[in-house]
Amino acid sequence: MEVHEFELKQNRRVVLSIFFLLTLVVVASAVYYYYSLRDDLLSQGGVEVKITAEQKAHLLRGWIDERKAEGAYLAKNPLLLNSITNKGVRLGESDIITLTGIFEELRRNHDYTSIAFLSNSGEELILSGEPVPAETGKRYAKKISSSPETVVLLEGLGTSSTSIEILTPFPVNSRVTWGYVYQIINVREPLTSLLREGESPLSDGRTRLFYFHSDTLYSVLDSIPPYSRSSGYDPETIPVQLHGLALRNRSGAVYGTGFDKEKKIGYFEKLGSFPVSIYYTHRLENVEKPLLSVGVLLTIIIFITITASGLAVSLTFSRQQAAFAGRLAESEAFLESIREGMSDGFILFGYDARFIALNSKAASVIRKTREEIVGRKISEVLPNVEHSGFWNTFNQVLESKRAVTSIDYYPEWDTYFHNKMFPVKDGIAVFFSDITKETKLKHDLKEANQQLEALTLHLQVATENEREAIAREIHDELGQVLTSLKMDLAIMKNSLKAEEKPFDKDVLINDMVTMGQRIDAVAKRLRRIITELRPEVLDHLGFVPAVEWLIEESASRSGIKFEIVKNFESVELGKHPATALFRIIQEACTNIIRHSEASRAVITLSNEDQSLKVTIKDNGKGFSTDGSWNTRSFGLIGMKERAKLVKAQLEVTSSEGEGTLISLVIPKKEGIRFV
């Protein structure tokens, strides 16, 4: 009996020990999971505020570049350029009125305080808005003469005017400066609209703009007092952190109490070489909001575990063992059902990088059965995984014992994964999802938008340049000839009217012959201008003769040997496809003449199974197709867009020193008929 009582006490002692140990493990695991999740949320919040701050900084850079471009636009005005003399800028009264109207329209459209054109001595020649103080004009004239580049002055951001000033030398890109365009704008309202679009006092995100000068931070968009070392903030607060980053001329993350006494997480993004920074924040309470439901759930789990363990103490050791086994089996089944019900893939690795467990989603991504995966090392299942970002992240978690979220690329599958790795008992848990489609779509969309924006701007500039050249040619050549003809006709009229003095008939005939020759020259010049705008041969003779004419013209004005090879005599195309193909070939020939340094170029037109194939190949210096040409060459971008309009396939192949090959194919289904 005593022996049985002793065994009973021993059993109870063992059960109680297990009870207290289990309670401790559950509480510790819950706390650990809670803080791991908190760190993960803070990490995600930090990434979000950083990305947003970088995007806002990009918007601000674009805004400043637009203002600089407006100054350059004014400085390139033909009336200003034509006013340059040996003694400086001389503007007529009508020119001043016209230019003042242009300046005034730009000032009103963009809310400038003042836009002016000043001479190289600081004299105010054209003004729209508030006058420029004489001393200011002279001081800035000296500044622009010593630095013939556009200058952006930000000192006004540290004053109540919150303004920036832009000085654009005139003429642009010239060694001699005859004056400059002066722009000043109060940035508070436009930058508040630009940087805080969609934000409100009640929204979570908040954007601030700071200007750093003379060891002091100035808030541009808000009424926050200037901050310096003597402002008296606690060393752990965000203002002190921002001042330190500004002092070191660096970008970085910040965490702590903000200007409004709330806990914040934010990012301080430096705007290039400018002493200006974007500061974007989230409230910490909103970042940690998901922790509330997690805390409640963990509390419930702890309560259930303690209660179940307490009940088990009152049972015999054998019954407790059976109950424990049953609960363990149920728990395993429950966890298995959760894993299988997840939309994300789940894998549990051991510290030796072996697969311990995974759900069906993960097995389908790996394309193997569980039996083929479990127990094997990751390198045996995933080829070359050691060279991927996933392996680096895995080792980071293994060494730091901290949760890490990352986006990793696996080149063997050409796939991007969003991974969340958590250190757990005896291993590392990985939750992942395939984000390849979204990642590539974002990249392609961003690249396409950048190309279209750049191409649009380039086409606008090219159109204006072409119009300006045509206008100049008509004014300089055709205008002079017509004026001369008018004067000759007046002389002939006076000669015919003179009664007292007979006129010389031969002289009159010679004058008429001369006038006819001038008219012929005018007609020939008009035909050349019309041909440059749209070759008549393309409308009257067709696509192939138009290409032959283009090649002859290119050879005659460049010295490059252009050849054409074709396996058909003629091809019938619609008006739009013919025009698009002709312009693509014209652009290719222009690029060969301007950039290739080639001595020979071959244009091939071929009928390949009723599809029209065009190739343009030169023996020039070529270029590297590393991807940067795709956004820098407006000519190539324009060729690609024209090809898309007629559903053609365009390929560009080139390498440095090996020449360039452009291949263009229009499928037969696009209404092509060969003769």
| Token representation of residue 32 | 């650990």
| Token representation of residue 377 | 């090392």
List, for residues 129-168, the tens digit of each pLDDT value. 999 998 988 888 888 877 778 899 988 888 888 899 999 9
Residue 517: band (very low, low, confident or very high) from pLDDT cuts 50, 70, 90: confident
Could you give the 3-state DSSP secondary structure of residue 199? coil
Contact (Cβ atoms closer than 8 angstroms) between residue 235 and residue 257: no
pLDDT of residue 623 exceeding 70, the answer is: yes
Mention every residue, 6+ apart, whose C-beta is less than 8 A from residue 446. Answer: none
pLDDT of residue 649 exceeding 70, the answer is: yes
- 201 vs 216: which has the higher pLDDT: 216
Q: How far apart are CA 528 and CA 120, in angstroms?
A: 42
Spell 331-365 as b/e; 16+ CB within 10 A means b.
eeeeeeeebeeeebbbbbbeeebbbebbbebbbeb
Per-residue CA distances from 27 to 159, 295, 446 (Å): 56, 11, 47
Which string of DSSP letters, residue by residue, matches 226-237?
A: PB-GGG---TTS
List, for residues 420-455, the tens digit of each pLDDT value. 888 887 788 888 887 778 777 877 777 767 666 655
Range 542-674 has CATH code 3.30.565.10:
yes
- 637 vs 458: which has the higher pLDDT: 637
| Numbered ranges of CATH 3.30.565.10 in the chain | 542-674
Q: How far apart are CA 327 and CA 25, in angstroms?
A: 17
Highest mean pLDDT among 212-216, 445-449, 483-487: 212-216
Q: What is the largest CA-CA distance in the chain?
A: 165
- Number of other residues whose CB lies within 10 A of the CB of residue 634: 18
> Region 363-389: what's the mean pLDDT?
82
pLDDT of residue 58: 92
Contact (Cβ atoms closer than 8 angstroms) between residue 171 and residue 84: yes
| Numbered ranges of CATH 3.30.450.20 in the chain | 342-431
pLDDT of residue 469: 57
Mention every residue, 6+ apart, whose C-beta is less than 8 A from residue 320. Answer: 15, 312, 313
User: What residues form DSSP beta bridges with 162?
Assistant: none
Closest CA relative to residue 207, chosen from 266, 138, 119: 266
pLDDT of residue 1: 39
Contact (Cβ atoms closer than 8 angstroms) between residue 187 and residue 276: no
Q: What percent of the chain has pLDDT over 90?
A: 8
Q: How far apart are CA 523 and CA 513, in angstroms?
A: 15
Q: How far apart are CA 422 and CA 430, in angstroms?
A: 6
- Which range (413-422, 523-532, 588-597) has the least confidence? 523-532
DSSP state of 155: G
Contact (Cβ atoms closer than 8 angstroms) between residue 180 and residue 168: yes
Q: How far apart are CA 96 and CA 102, in angstroms?
A: 10
pTM attached to this predicted model: 0.43
pLDDT of residue 329: 65
> Region 378-386: what's the mean pLDDT?
82
Residue 617: band (very low, low, confident or very high) from pLDDT cuts 50, 70, 90: very high
Sheet holding 415-424, edge to edge: 355-358, 345-349, 427-434, 415-424, 404-410
Average pLDDT of the residues of the chain: 79
pLDDT of residue 323 exceeding 90, the answer is: no
pLDDT of residue 534 exceeding 70, the answer is: no
The identity of residue 615, as a single letter, is T
- Which range (219-228, 407-416, 451-460, 651-660) has the least confidence? 451-460
User: What residues form DSSP beta bridges with 152?
Assistant: 166
pLDDT of residue 492: 72
Q: How far apart are CA 520 and CA 517, in angstroms?
A: 5
Q: Which residue has the tokens 């924006």?
A: 453
Residues in the chain: 675
pLDDT of residue 330 exceeding 50, the answer is: yes
DSSP state of 354: B
User: What residues form DSSP beta bridges with 214?
Assistant: none
Domain 342-431: top CATH class? alpha beta
Residue 2: band (very low, low, confident or very high) from pLDDT cuts 50, 70, 90: very low
Highest mean pLDDT among 3-17, 206-220, 540-554, 633-647: 206-220
pLDDT of residue 255: 86
- Which range (2-16, 332-346, 588-602) has the least confidence? 2-16
Could you give the 3-state DSSP secondary structure of residue 326? helix
pLDDT of residue 116: 92
Which string of DSSP letters, residue by residue, matches 470-500?
A: HHHHIIIIIHHHHHHHHHHHHHHHHHHH-SS
Q: How far apart are CA 188 and CA 157, in angstroms?
A: 9
pLDDT of residue 315: 64
